[in-house]
Structure 1
């Protein structure tokens, strides 16, 4: 007689593999790479110039400080705080952003789903542009890159993945982990060390010391703006069924 399973025995669910990356993350990475390859290697100088002028974030154009701002598309000022995330300076720039997008975007997308993930990335980009504008309101050079959005993903991961997972477990983290309160995160050793390294690194770039360790002209303000938004505002995008009983939504 075949023994029957005990109905009271808990069912062990298999953990998702570490590199089971959500399709939305892979799609965003592919989009960034395709746009970069097209702009750098396939587009004509005229098309490339149009992309930089109308997709990058140029703070000084909001005050019409240069004639070239007048030839931008009429709605450029409305969409460029988000669209600048689509452009990158060189292969290393897009490669690093895609790497961190893979690492930190995977747990966030797995937790909140594709639509909320995209909305969160766009909001992080806008937050990064906003803080960049505060520091550089008259700058007429274009600001590009997905670093503001990626930093927002890092900040969001600090609210649920880093406190309890960390390391390789970060890629497996998802909806099962509770959303940690802000004060609880700030007393978690893993989160505190990560945040400290993040801010010290950006402080080094802000003082020019970071040039010895990476490319110059780093928009550290956008990094900080995206990270602060992601850390403080992640609960606004989190699904209610993942917050957990008794957990505050902030």
Structure 2
């Protein structure tokens, strides 16, 4: 929320509200995802799309090729991160962008742009690692920001459901909001809202590989990237907590 103040150009008038209420880093990251997808769909032909996926999607089978042709494995240096910038379609992109805006915003406001982007990238890589561990021999690739976004979700869960701490101004004695404390992992599961959200999120994603058993059709959802990213953000967010 922005504070209301005086417009310096017009005495007695309220200050103008900013056009965008999102943190700058969140706006830039969301804009980058949209710009990349827009450019790839409008500029690249079919061959260009194939090259884009070859060089920037995460393809676990490259690990198996390292012994035979190390050159084919070189993209493994960057694709655990760059896959998070690519999307399969507009619905895929818009869903991930909306989820990004919701959960990256509180993380960026609490920890800053560098910490938010670091958690996004590390979580994307963690999601790629779990994806590789479960699909190594299948010859499929991973794209989408959902692993990184899941990490920001896991990080935000550690504090957004906690009660706001109150204190008093040392000079005026007025009550002031001190923010929300980062919950321990035990506290996340003893607080009903955070417990239910976390359990529902984990169960829904863990149930994805069971869908074919029930319906006979598989879902093109990288549940491994979701779980790996979520756990990374959930466990690592404490590294960015300011010491007081």
TM-score tier by shorter-chain length is 0.7 to 0.9
Paired position in structure 2 for 1:191: 194
Give the TM-score normalised by the residue count of structure 2: 0.79
Q: CA deviation at 1:118?
A: 1.0
Q: CA deviation at 1:209?
A: 5.7
Superposed CA offset, 1:44-83 (max 9, x none)? 3332222101111111111119x9x8775x6311111111
Is the CA contact (8 Å cut-off) linking 2:26 and 2:105 kept in structure 1? yes
**Aligned equivalents of 2:50 and 2:243: distance in 1?**
44
Paired position in structure 2 for 1:111: 110
Superposed CA offset, 1:84-116 (max 9, x none)? 000011111000000010000000011111111
Q: CA deviation at 1:152?
A: 0.4
Q: Write out aligned runs for 1:1-250 (5 A).
A: 20-64=21-65, 72=72, 75-164=74-163, 176-208=179-211, 216-241=219-244
Q: CA deviation at 1:117?
A: 1.2
- 1:211–1:87 Cα change, 3 Å: farther
**Aligned equivalents of 1:210 and 1:163: distance in 2?**
38
Is the CA contact (8 Å cut-off) linking 1:110 and 1:175 kept in structure 2? no
Moved more, 93-102 or 131-140: 131-140
Number of residue pairs aligned between Structure 1 and Structure 2: 217
Superposed CA offset, 1:202-222 (max 9, x none)? 12312126998xx93100011
2:61 partner SS: helix
1:217 partner SS: coil
**Aligned equivalents of 1:35 and 1:111: distance in 2?**
27
Structure 1: gaps spanning 5 or more residues = 1-12, 166-173, 242-250
Paired position in structure 1 for 2:11: none
Superposed CA offset, 1:18-57 (max 9, x none)? x721010011111001111111222133322221011111
- The two structures, once aligned, show a CA RMSD in angstroms of 3.0
**Aligned equivalents of 2:149 and 2:134: distance in 1?**
20
Is the CA contact (8 Å cut-off) linking 2:123 and 2:150 kept in structure 1? yes
**Aligned equivalents of 2:43 and 2:130: distance in 1?**
33
1:96 partner SS: helix
Q: CA deviation at 1:150?
A: 0.6
**Aligned equivalents of 1:239 and 1:43: distance in 2?**
44
Is the CA contact (8 Å cut-off) linking 2:162 and 2:181 kept in structure 1? no
Structure 2: gaps spanning 5 or more residues = 5-16, 165-176
Is the CA contact (8 Å cut-off) linking 1:204 and 1:210 kept in structure 2? no
**Aligned equivalents of 2:99 and 2:64: distance in 1?**
34
Q: CA deviation at 1:178?
A: 1.4
**Aligned equivalents of 2:121 and 2:108: distance in 1?**
13
Is the CA contact (8 Å cut-off) linking 1:107 and 1:157 kept in structure 2? yes
Give the TM-score normalised by the residue count of structure 1: 0.78
Counting strand residues as a fraction of each chain, which structure ranks higher? 2
Structure 1 segments of 4 or more deviating over 3 A?
13-17, 69-72, 209-212
- 1:198–1:211 Cα change, 3 Å: farther
The structure with higher relative contact order (CA 8 Å, sep 6+) is: 1
